[in-house]
């Protein structure tokens, strides 16, 4: 008998932004924001080939982006990926309701 396992996908929404005081230059900020969607997809696909991160503008300004993530990853995996990503880019993350 063959057992099928289903990986349930979950949708997550969060905001990535630059805090007021950060050591990242304007040029670095612009580059990170320009490549944000493909960079996030690369980071999340390391643990889930089907992960999909979509980036959209926030009403809070050009250095604030809304991220919609669809993935089978656990909360702990998502948290670790975001932690590493934010450490590398200087971004701050906030969960959205």
Task: Output the pLDDT for position 72.
Answer: 93
Would 3 be classed as within a structural domain?
A: no
Would 39 be classed as within a structural domain?
A: yes
Would 65 be classed as within a structural domain?
A: yes
Rg of the chain in Å (alpha carbons): 15
For residue range 55-73, list pLDDT tens digits in order.
999 888 878 999 999 999 9
Would 5 be classed as within a structural domain?
A: no
Domain span including residue 52? 20-95
Would 45 be classed as within a structural domain?
A: yes
For residues 95 and 97, which has the higher predicted lDDT (pLDDT)?
95
Number of domains in the chain: 1
Q: How far apart are CA 17 and CA 1, in angstroms?
A: 50
Would 1 be classed as within a structural domain?
A: no
Would 9 be classed as within a structural domain?
A: no
pTM above 0.75, yes or no: yes
pLDDT at 88 over 70: yes
pLDDT at 21 over 90: no
Tokens representing 70 are: 């669809």
């Amino acid at each position: 008998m063959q057992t099928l396992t289903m990986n349930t996908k979950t949708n997550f929404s969060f905001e990535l932004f630059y805090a007021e005081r950060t050591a990242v230059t304007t040029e670095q900020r612009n580059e990170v924001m320009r490549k944000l969607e493909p960079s996030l997809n690369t980071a999340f696909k390391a643990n889930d080939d089907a992960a999909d991160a979509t980036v959209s503008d926030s009403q809070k300004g050009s250095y604030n982006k809304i991220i919609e993530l669809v993935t089978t990853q656990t909360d702990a995996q998502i948290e670790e990926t975001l932690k590493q990503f934010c450490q590398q880019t200087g971004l701050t993350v906030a969960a959205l309701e």
